[in-house]
């Protein structure tokens, strides 16, 4: 399916009867060069870059439900490159650079909007930490500006600057950060992969792996056995459930994270604000709804819905920062399941089983990582060597003492 302005006008005049499905709905072949488990953003991006960068097109993406029905459709759509540590920041900077060229690259409107992200600071110690982070970002080719109180006030005069507990003393502004139309990311990658010959197989659940003599030969699915030279798991949120079928235990706990949307408002908030001290962050969608969230529910969960105490906590954080929110009605809330890893950082690695690869542990930062995750996973699958910005994302890093712990919290997944 090709899109053009002319086509839109033609279809508008003829009752929109000429649109065709954007990707095929094939039955699985007997075997593939690469089988990717999971038709989310990362899995589809991996298939797209396998085909585009490496010319590997005999690829299937197997999805339990429908593509884009998991976390790529359940996040708060933020993209950013504002990490501190060397193991992370080059990776996220690559991701942001890929976001910047993504729509031209896959010729699909993903509404990438670099509207800026502001991380608020409230104390001298937080300002020092923000300055350090900003310098780390700049050293890795990202952008950062440290604002004082007046700088923040000029951008967002409606914030509560004199909150007794958390007065606003400034903020770290990352202008290239922003938001993206999340569903369109899945659709754009799916379309691009499908056009290059990748089979996207929906409503097909992986029920087991065929592993003989330490080598993975393929996957058992609800549509029968599918052979593969390489099997690539890419199911963050359900990683433990899938890899358990290959006999692996992972350094991951699954937790639920809630998000919220208000009724539609006229434009009030043109960027993203994070209020880390109050466990609240917020942006405004192009439809007008305020999109916001906060902390994990803190307990292990696969339920895709949270509980009321966190709803209350997020609303309190929002009211503390933006008192005018009290006039706004909340429209929807939902939950997504996060792979919370033991150091808060992800994995893109081979496993100890030959031909079986693993991508997961994205915590609540998976969406922004989508392009680079697919790019680096495809590189690993095609060349059997890690991409240079993803060398730290190894499964054995805990054994080697090479954790990538941005927050310095230790092995307590719900605190990352």
Burial-class residue 147 by CB neighbours within 10 Å (0-12, 13-18, 19+). Answer: buried
Applying CB under 8 A, among 8, 324, 331, 411 the residue interacting with another protein is 411
**C-beta of 294: minimal distance to another protein in Å?**
15
Q: Does 17 bind another protein (CB under 8 A)?
A: no
Q: Inter-axis angle of helices 89-106 and 182-195, to 10 degrees?
A: 70
Q: Cβ of 385: how many Cβ atoms within 10 Å?
A: 10
d(CA 379, CA 381): 6
Q: Does 383 bind another protein (CB under 8 A)?
A: no
**C-beta of 236: minimal distance to another protein in Å?**
13
Q: Does 317 bind another protein (CB under 8 A)?
A: no
Q: Does 414 bind another protein (CB under 8 A)?
A: yes
Contact status, residue 347 vs residue 360, Cβ threshold 8 Å? yes
Contacts of another protein in 320-359 (CB under 8 A) = 342
CA 264 to chain centre: 24
- Indicate the residue among 194 and 297 with the shorter CB distance to another protein: 297
**C-beta of 209: minimal distance to another protein in Å?**
18
Q: Does 413 bind another protein (CB under 8 A)?
A: yes
User: How far are the Cα atoms of 61, 201, 269, 274 from residue 65, in angstroms, in the given order?
Assistant: 12, 10, 35, 33
**C-beta of 342: minimal distance to another protein in Å?**
5
d(CA 392, CA 67): 29
User: How far are the Cα atoms of 136, 140, 305, 307 from residue 128, in angstroms, in the given order?
Assistant: 12, 19, 37, 35
- Indicate the residue among 225 and 334 with the shorter CB distance to another protein: 334
- Indicate the residue among 249 and 329 with the shorter CB distance to another protein: 249
From the list 5-13, 81-89, 145-153, 236-244, the region that binds another protein by CB under 8 A is 236-244
d(CA 80, CA 95): 8
d(CA 410, CA 344): 9
Contacts of another protein in 244-303 (CB under 8 A) = 244, 249-254, 298-303
**C-beta of 250: minimal distance to another protein in Å?**
7
Sign of the CA dihedral running 191, 185, 351, 336: negative
Tokens matching residue 8: 């839109």
**C-beta of 254: minimal distance to another protein in Å?**
6
Q: Does 240 bind another protein (CB under 8 A)?
A: yes
**C-beta of 241: minimal distance to another protein in Å?**
5
Q: Does 20 bind another protein (CB under 8 A)?
A: no
Give residues in contact with another protein (CB under 8 A).
Answer: 238, 240-241, 244, 249-254, 298-303, 307, 309, 342, 398-399, 411-414
């Amino acid at each position: 399916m090709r899109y053009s302005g002319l086509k839109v006008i033609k279809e508008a005049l003829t009752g929109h009867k000429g649109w065709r499905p954007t990707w095929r709905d094939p039955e699985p072949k007997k075997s593939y060069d690469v089988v990717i488990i999971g038709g989310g953003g990362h899995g589809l991006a991996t298939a797209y870059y396998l085909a585009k960068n490496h010319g590997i097109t005999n690829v299937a993406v197997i999805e339990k439900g429908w593509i884009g029905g998991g976390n790529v459709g359940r996040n708060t759509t933020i993209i950013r490159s504002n990490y501190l540590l060397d193991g992370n920041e080059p990776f996220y900077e690559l991701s942001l650079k890929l976001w910047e060229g993504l729509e031209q690259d896959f010729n699909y409107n993903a509404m990438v909007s670099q509207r800026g992200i502001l991380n608020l600071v409230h104390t001298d110690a937080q300002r020092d930490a923000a300055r350090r982070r900003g310098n780390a970002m700049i050293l890795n080719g990202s952008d950062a500006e440290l604002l004082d109180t007046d700088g923040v006030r000029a951008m967002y005069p409606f914030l509560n600057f004199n909150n007794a507990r958390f007065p606003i003393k400034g903020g770290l502004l990352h202008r290239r950060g922003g938001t993206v139309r999340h569903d369109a990311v899945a659709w754009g990658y799916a379309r691009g992969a499908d056009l290059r010959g990748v089979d996207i197989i929906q409503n097909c659940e992986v029920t087991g792996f065929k592993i003989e003599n330490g080598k993975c030969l393929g996957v058992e699915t609800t549509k029968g056995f599918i052979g593969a030279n390489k099997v690539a798991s890419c199911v963050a949120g359900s990683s433990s459930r899938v890899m358990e079928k290959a006999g692996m235990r992972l350094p991951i706990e699954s937790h639920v994270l809630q998000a919220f949307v208000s009724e539609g408002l006229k434009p009030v908030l043109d960027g993203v604000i994070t209020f880390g001290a109050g466990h609240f962050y917020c942006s405004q969608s192009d439809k007008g709804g305020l999109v916001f969230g906060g902390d994990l529910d803190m307990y292990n969960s696969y339920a895709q819905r949270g509980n009321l105490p966190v709803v209350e906590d997020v609303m309190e954080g929002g009211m503390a920062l933006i008192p005018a929110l009290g006039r706004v009605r909340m429209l929807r809330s939902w939950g997504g399941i996060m792979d919370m890893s033991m150091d808060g950082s992800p994995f893109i690695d081979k496993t100890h089983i030959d031909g079986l690869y693993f991508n997961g542990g994205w915590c609540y930062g998976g969406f922004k990582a989508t392009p680079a995750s697919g790019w680096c996973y495809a590189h690993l699958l095609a060349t059997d060597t890690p991409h240079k910005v993803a060398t730290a994302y190894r499964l054995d890093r805990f054994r080697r003492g090479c954790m990538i712990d941005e927050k310095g919290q230790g092995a307590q997944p719900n605190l990352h």
